[in-house]
Amino acid sequence: MAHGYLRNSKLCCAGVGTDATGAGGAAVAAAVEAAVAPPPPPPSLSLITRKGMVVISLRKRAAPKTVAKIVAFTIGSPEAEAGTMPPCAALPAEDAPQATADAGCNFYRAEAVPGNWSMGEAFDPDGFYGPPYALLQGRFATDAAPGDWELPREDAPLVVRGDVCLIGSGPHFFIALAPHPEWGAGHTVFGRVADAESMRVVDALAREPTFHEQWGETAVTPLVTKLPFAVGYVEAPLPPIITDV
């Protein structure tokens, strides 16, 4: 069984001839070619900033509710009112008031990777690595009631560099700049930075100017200027399921 796509591994079956030069042989050859072909890429979300594009491979099967919510809210859905513009459809104009950018989809917190992170030492009073906490944090714009983002926790593996994770039930999220084993299975991982160029953009965004602030008991470094992003979506087809030929 190749890639798990064959429901019936007996390619020569009732109604199919064994002559490789005939129609039956052509059908078998086509089925085998489809079965051994590499699976298509996962659906992807593009976060488009003025400093470059971050492509995120979505974990649609591992976090279906989270992915569906983010796509429906940021891109729009068939049920959306005609003529309405999804909140993350476009970047605000460069000369738009900062309040306009702040109200949309944006990155607002950047935490560098400490030089001794790889030593595995816990730094803060709660045993977490940091501060800083090696992440780029943002939010999907929302005019919805808070209850609309009460998403359940879905697949939550140990976080590694490049993982894109929901904070709580959303709409805030972060991109990990380093591994975070200390967080355990605490966050739904709904995507992963798709390629090296996208990760280069993430690292560049995380180097933007920040300032120090205290959020409760946590020392954080918000961005001096929030970085808006627009969202694009590409749906990849599911792998074909080959039945008897």
Residue 225 has pLDDT above 50, yes or no: yes
What are the chain's domains?
1-39 (no CATH), 44-234 (2.40.100.10)
| Residue range 10-47, pLDDT digits in tens | 333 334 444 445 556 666 666 555 555 566 667 899 99
What's this model's pTM, rounded to 2 decimal places? 0.76
* Averaged pLDDT score across all residues of the chain: 78
pLDDT of residue 29: 60
Nearest Cα to Cα of residue 77 among 69, 157, 46:
69
| Residue range 125-163, pLDDT digits in tens | 666 677 889 999 999 876 555 567 888 999 999 999 999
Q: CA 36, 42, 43, 44: dihedral to nearest 10 degrees?
A: -130
The span from the CA of 27 to the CA of 13, in Å, is 11
Task: Give SS3 for 35.
Answer: helix
CA distances (Å), origin 127, targets 114, 178, 187: 15, 16, 17
